[in-house]
Structure 1
Amino acid sequence: MEEEPQVEVPCYFLCPISLHMMRDPVTLPTGITYDRDGIERWLLTAGTCPLTKQPVPADCDPTPNHTLRRLIQSWCALHAADGVQRVATPKPPTDRARVASLVSRIGANLTSTPQELLAALRELRDVASESERNRKLVAAVPRAVDTLVGVFVTASATSAAVCDEVLEIISSLELSEKCLLARVIETNEALSLVDALVSALQRSNTASRAHAALLLQNVTAVMSTNSLVPLPEQVFGEVVQLIRDKVSRAATKAALHVLVGTTPWGRNRVKAVDAGSVPVLVDMLLDGPERRACELALGALDRLCGCAEGRAELVAHGAGVAAVGRKALRVSDVATDKAVRVLRSVARHAATTAVVQEMAQTGVVGTLCVVAQSEQYGERTRERARETLRLHARAWRSSPCLHQHLQAMYPC
């Protein structure tokens, strides 16, 4: 930590935003001077001068106040003995023109040798890695994202190195779904991008697989229903493999989001089930995932149990029903609701005599009794639990596995 100076800093050396001494003073068109880091962060969200409230153009580059910076540096040198640290001359910031030039080079080198394209991509990657300001700048340059996506799609079948660089750049930008993919959808590149992401997921580069998983989550989140229904089977195979391989927590959550978001429709549910998703999700629940991952896994199982193939896979798993029932009451209200929905699907459509007995023996029926009576959960969740219990009331109410105090809670 920096030591506090033993002398009072002149008020005109302080940034109006942070109230700390400015290191790189810059002046807005409104005439007010701020520290570069503070005002650039402010302008990313507000778009106005903090003091005057006047609007500042989005493409405004604040003017360096060299005179004030030299005064600050001289004052720091004069009071070095009092604990004032020297203010270094700042490195000239990357401007919009340089980023636009790099984007143009990348687009122009798309048909050139991979080495030239890689050199341009690595330079842009270095620029983006310098600061949050630079990442926002790259994202804001017209056609920068479009160009990167186009390079990624084109190079997916020819150059893994190029794809890895593009994925690293896009992931560092942390673009919103709207910012990143509205353009992709407008240019009808969504399915081509999905195919390219599947190719990236099939490679061995762990970092690129994680980046591709996050991008796939964002892509599928904004695709239309007509585009999601014909998703290739390879998408679900690679998503399930991501969960199985435990590449990273972020990649696992992204894969779960993809499963939840792409399986409201029967065809995709069957594809996901055929890819082996149900046993992988059950095994994940048995491993005790963190709360959000558990909620997503149960949400995915809820989707998959909407088809006969998914329910058959769940009840065929030696611990499937028990694993779902065990997460109710123990994780969160959301997890309990999802677990109850899964159990209701099983009890309604896949309840053989063996399954009904298993639900009693593994404590699932007792859990449903608690949920049905507890005011902690929403009325819809409680009603689903009561509905499930009524489906096989004759078998469950007389079961020796149901404790006496739970029998008293059994719905009429």
Structure 2
Amino acid sequence: MEEVEIPSYFLCPVSLQMMRDPVTLPTGITFDRHSIERWLFSDSNHNTCPVTKQPLPASVDLTPNHTLRRLIQAWCVANASNGVERIPTPRPQIQLSHISNLLLETKRSPANHLPFLHKLQDIISASEANRRCVESSEAVEFLSSIILEDHGDEALAILHSLQISPQRFLTLLRKNQSFLDSLFHVLQLSSFKSRAYATLLLKSVIPLVSPANLSSKIQEEKIHEIVNVVIDRISNQATKAALQVLIELFSWGRNRVKAVNAGAVYALIDLLLEEEDKRVCELSLVALDKLCACAEGRAALIGHAAGVAVVSKKILRVSQVASERAVRIVEKVAKLSASPVVLQEMVQVGVVSKLCLLLQVECGMKEKEKAREILRLHARVWKDSPCLSPQLLCSYPCS
């Protein structure tokens, strides 16, 4: 059987695959719809034609190229004997009016919810344009209102797949003021899937909540549920999202004490003991650094048998970010919670050795300065310690 060669004018300039739904930009260049939508509406948010590099309007029109589509379909039919499948005619883009009609029908009876959710998922998966249309519709508010009902898993999955913009989330929070509480309530459920989606949505929503609400309306029970997501290791993605939520919450002093009471310090230390993922370690150290800004957080760190040791271990072992945060944690403990017992422990578990090593190796200037300051501060206790090797003692800073 002869090898079938696809004509070059059937190839998508963005992805070099056969066009299935050719559309033309205002620049006159034709692309496959799926590929050009990925280019224009991805997180990178490109605003130029990938071929001509010409700037495109904010609301760019993708004009279907029906002539080219029929040519491609004809070519596929002509080469069917060689195993080429005919490309189906693409479905028309969804309209807001269609989604509104589906919503009206769905709201009449709870029995209609599941069929509606399945239809909505099909609509979203069909194209990027459909996804953006659904995101701008009232379907978002409806989905947010049913996440605690029987089909909450599906509603949460769709909300996550919509990749809702911050502006749209703000609109949602204004229209559905109980949405944030509902997401936290989902975290109490037994379904790992629901908890994962709720955590990922919280990661997007929490930065948009006003500081006053973050400080006064986030109860200890809610922080405890986020901490449980970290403890349960539902998924790597959910763990990272939970850590980012905690970091946002820890920006406000009241929440730090609540988090310590909810077991956050112990959960973060246990995570650092077992986790090898670089980003998870960085986020855990950032969260611990924020918690150590309060006396309760430092006391919990010192109270954990491996707390000081695991923080020291991460210096020069993970990344520049991790080292910087670990040194900041050591600095807070050394300056604000430096009892004789703690100072002795810092020698025994290798904190002082790590600080001396920092002065000998290539690393950030901030870490070096902090290391010098900490070593000078407790030179009387540490400098003559038998736990330090002569090689490290030679780098001990003078008073």
Q: TM-score range by the shorter chain?
A: 0.7 to 0.9
CA distance in 2, matches of 1:356, 1:108: 68
The answer to whether the aligner puts 1:63 opposite 2:50 as a matched pair is no
Shift of 1:175: 3.2
Residues 206 and 245, structure 2, Cα contact 8 Å, conserved in 1: yes
Residues 28 and 63, structure 1, Cα contact 8 Å, conserved in 2: no
Aligned to 2:131: 138
2:86 counterpart SS class: coil
Aligned to 1:224: 210
TM-score (norm 1): 0.85
- Aligned amino acid, residue 206 of structure 2: T
Structure 2 unaligned blocks of 5 or more? none
Q: Count how many residue pairs are aligned between Structure 1 and Structure 2.
A: 393
- Aligned amino acid, residue 69 of structure 1: R
Residues 25 and 64, structure 1, Cα contact 8 Å, conserved in 2: yes
The answer to whether the aligner puts 1:320 opposite 2:307 as a matched pair is yes
Shift of 1:50: 5.8
2:19 counterpart SS class: coil
After superposition, the C-alpha distances for 1:128-181 in whole angstroms (9 at most, x for unaligned) are: 2x34x24x532344643x6424542x3355x142x32221001112334x2442
CA distance in 2, matches of 1:325, 1:46: 43
Give runs of aligned pairs for residues 31-46 of structure 1, distance below 5 A. Answer: 33-44=30-41, 45-46=45-46
Q: Which of the numbers 7, 11, 25 marks the counterpart of 2:22? A: 25
Cα 1:160–1:273 change in 2 (3 A) is farther
Cα 1:126–1:279 change in 2 (3 A) is same
Aligned to 2:169: 181
RMSD value, Cα? 2.9
The answer to whether the aligner puts 1:251 opposite 2:247 as a matched pair is no
Cα 1:122–1:345 change in 2 (3 A) is same
Give runs of aligned pairs for residues 211-290 of structure 1, distance below 5 A. Answer: 211-230=197-216, 231-290=218-277
Aligned to 1:395: 381
Residues 102 and 120, structure 1, Cα contact 8 Å, conserved in 2: no
Aligned to 2:114: 118
Cα 1:257–1:36 change in 2 (3 A) is closer
The answer to whether the aligner puts 1:169 opposite 2:158 as a matched pair is yes
Residues 140 and 172, structure 2, Cα contact 8 Å, conserved in 1: no
- Aligned amino acid, residue 171 of structure 2: R
- Aligned amino acid, residue 22 of structure 1: M
Shift of 1:388: 1.5
1:96 counterpart SS class: coil
Residues 23 and 62, structure 2, Cα contact 8 Å, conserved in 1: no
CA distance in 1, matches of 2:308, 2:50: 57
- Aligned amino acid, residue 290 of structure 2: R
After superposition, the C-alpha distances for 1:315-364 in whole angstroms (9 at most, x for unaligned) are: 11111111111111111111111111111111111122111111001111
The answer to whether the aligner puts 1:341 opposite 2:328 as a matched pair is yes
Residues 143 and 159, structure 2, Cα contact 8 Å, conserved in 1: no
Residues 135 and 162, structure 2, Cα contact 8 Å, conserved in 1: no
Residues 282 and 319, structure 1, Cα contact 8 Å, conserved in 2: yes
Aligned to 2:98: 101
- Aligned amino acid, residue 397 of structure 1: K
Q: Identical aligned pairs, as a percentage?
A: 43
Shift of 1:72: 3.2
After superposition, the C-alpha distances for 1:188-221 in whole angstroms (9 at most, x for unaligned) are: 75x6322111111111111111111011111112
Shift of 1:24: 3.3
Residues 184 and 222, structure 2, Cα contact 8 Å, conserved in 1: yes
1:229 counterpart SS class: helix
After superposition, the C-alpha distances for 1:292-319 in whole angstroms (9 at most, x for unaligned) are: 1001111111000111111111111111
The answer to whether the aligner puts 1:155 opposite 2:153 as a matched pair is no
- Aligned amino acid, residue 170 of structure 2: A
Aligned to 1:382: 368
1:239 counterpart SS class: helix
Cα 1:91–1:410 change in 2 (3 A) is same
Residues 125 and 169, structure 1, Cα contact 8 Å, conserved in 2: yes
2:90 counterpart SS class: coil
Aligned to 1:192: 178
CA distance in 2, matches of 1:11, 1:326: 56
TM-score (norm 2): 0.87
- Aligned amino acid, residue 309 of structure 1: E
Shift of 1:43: 4.4
